[in-house]
Amino acid sequence: MPVITYRDALNQALREEMQRDDRVFLMGEEVGVYNGAYKVSKGLLQEFGEMRVVDTPITELGFAGVGVGAAMVGLRPVIEFMTWNFALLALDQVVNVAAKMLYMSGGQFNMPMVFRGPNGAALQLAAQHSQAWESWLAHIPGLKVVAPGTPYDAKGLLKAAIRDDNPVCVLEGEMLYNTKGEVPEEEYVIPLGQAELKREGDHATIVTWGKMALVAQQAADQLAKEGIRVEVVDLRTVRPMDTEAVYASVRKTNRCVVVEEGWPHSGVGAQVADSVQRDCFDHLDAPVLRVHQADVPMPYAKQLEKAAKPDVPKTIAAVRKVLYLD
C-alpha cells in the first residue's frame, strides 16, 4: 500500500471529489496560484481552472458567505481557511447561517459545504495562531465537526465531508501535514460519526481525536514498555460523537483519560467526561481525567509553550493516575 503524507492524502481527496462532481469547488486564500499556504491544493488550479479553484482576497467573512450562498443554490463549496484561527472572522457565516439555515427555513435549504483548514498549535506561533477550535464548533447544532489524525483518515473523512449534504467543519492538524501513513490506491470513504479503535488494550482507555491521536499512540507505546495496555479510541468525528465506541471501551477498561488540544473549560473533553459518567457510571474505577492545553493564551517562549501543550509525558501521567500507580 502506498505511504503518503497527510497533505497529499487531502490533496487526493479534493482532486477525486472535484473529478467526481463538478458542483464541487475550492475557494480560499492562496489555494490556486500559490498552490495552497500548506500546499494541500497543489496542482488543482492547473487541473480544474480558476472557476473551480478560486483565489480570494483576505476576506474570510466574505468568502465564507460566498460559499454559503453558493451552497444555498446547489453548489458544493469547499471553503479553505488558511488556518482556523482566521475563521473567527467568518464565524457569523459558519454559525449563524450555515449551521442554522436548514432549521430556520423549515427544512427547505440544506447546506452541502465544507469549511476546512489547519487547526491547533504548531511551533512558537504564539497566542493568535495556536488555537484548537473544535469545542467552539462542536457546540453548534447543525454542524458536523471532523478531526482526522492520520493520512488514511484525512482522505476518507474529507471525501465523506464533501459528499455530505450538511455543513462539515474539517479540522486538519497543522503539525500533521508532513506525517506519513498508508493510504490505499482504491477509493474509500469513511462515514462521518464513526470512531476507530486505534489500539487495543484492557487497562485504560484514552479518548482522543485529531493531532492528539498521535500523542496518545506514542504514550501508549511507552506505557506498553511498563506492561500497561492502553486502548486508544480515536473519535475522528467530534460531532456527531460516536459515544457507543467510547462506552464499549470504558466498560472494558473501567478507566478513561481524554486527551485534547484545546483549553479545559467547556472543552470537548468535558463533553466526553459528561457522557461517560452518565452512561458508564457503574463501570468506572476512577474519575475521568483530562489532558489539555494549559488554561492560558499560548506563549511564544519555547519552555513556556512546551509547558502549555498537552504531550506524551502528561498523557502517561494521567493514565498512571487513573490506574492509581502514582
Shortest Cβ 27–other proteins spacing (Å) = 9
**C-alpha grid cell for residue 143?**
454542524
Interface pick for other proteins out of 13, 18, 53, 97 (rule CB under 8 A): 97
**C-alpha grid cell for residue 39?**
500546499
Residue 144 binds other proteins (CB under 8 A): yes
Establish whether 172 is a catalytic residue: no
Which range of residues in 136-144, 177-185, 200-208, 217-225 is near other proteins by CB under 8 A? Answer: 136-144
Q: What is the distance between the alpha carbons of residues 166 and 140, in angstroms, rounded to a whole number? A: 13
| Nearest partner of 305 among 317, 319, 293, 323, judged by Cα | 293
Q: In the Cβ-directed half-sphere of 183, how many Cα atoms lie within 13 Å? A: 25
Count of residues interacting with other proteins (CB under 8 A): 47
Shortest Cβ 55–other proteins spacing (Å) = 10
**Could you check whether the bond before residue 240 is cis, i.e. omega within 30 degrees of 0?**
yes
If the CB atoms of residues 192 and 288 are measured against other proteins, the closer one turns out to be 192
If the CB atoms of residues 102 and 125 are measured against other proteins, the closer one turns out to be 102
Residue 91 binds other proteins (CB under 8 A): no
Question: Which residue has 492524502 as its cell numbers?
Answer: 9
Q: Please provide the DSSP assignment of 96-156 as one string.
A: IIITTHHHHTTTS-----EEEEEES--SS--GGG----HHHHHTSTT-EEE---SHHHHHH
Residue 177 binds other proteins (CB under 8 A): no
Q: Which residues bind other proteins (CB under 8 A)?
A: 21, 23, 25, 51, 56-57, 59, 61-77, 92-93, 96-97, 101-110, 112, 141-142, 144, 160, 163-166
Catalytic residues: 60, 129
